[in-house]
Amino acid sequence: MSEAQRVFTSASPWVVGREALLEEAVDDFLHEMTRQKPWLRARYEAVLGDLNAHLSEKCPAPLSALSRSSAEAWLETTDERVFAERTLTDFSDYLVKWGWLDAHPLKRSQAV
């Protein structure tokens, strides 16, 4: 089964039988950050909102659109690169820890 055909199996109850969208994972991450680090939520929300807009030019981006190469391309467009890198690392770690992805997206390249 290809990555694009993978059925999402996270513990998140609202995503069943289809591939997860990046915006759904971002929302879940922001909810968790509100609990753990509320002082960072607004900055994380702005950075990840920009990433989502970059990857979702015409339609909602699937979570699988997040890769090392797509992240690097987006980082080239941001003014706050250091904080954006930190946010991507925290977000990516969360995606693996909470079962959104099997492997860290910034440590693998997207297949061409």
pLDDT at residue 110 is higher than 80:
no
DSSP-assigned beta bridge partners for residue 62: 21
Question: pTM of the prediction?
Answer: 0.79
What is the structure's pLDDT at 5? 45
pLDDT band at 16 (very low <50, low <70, confident <90, very high): low
- Top pLDDT among 72 and 14 is at 72
pLDDT at residue 112 is higher than 50:
no
Cα 61 to Cα 49: distance, rounded to the nearest angstrom? 12
Q: Any idea where the domains of the chain sit in the sequence?
A: 21-107
- Condensed to tens digits (0 to 9), the pLDDT of residues 19-29 reads 889 999 999 99
pLDDT band at 12 (very low <50, low <70, confident <90, very high): low
Cα 26 to Cα 9: distance, rounded to the nearest angstrom? 17
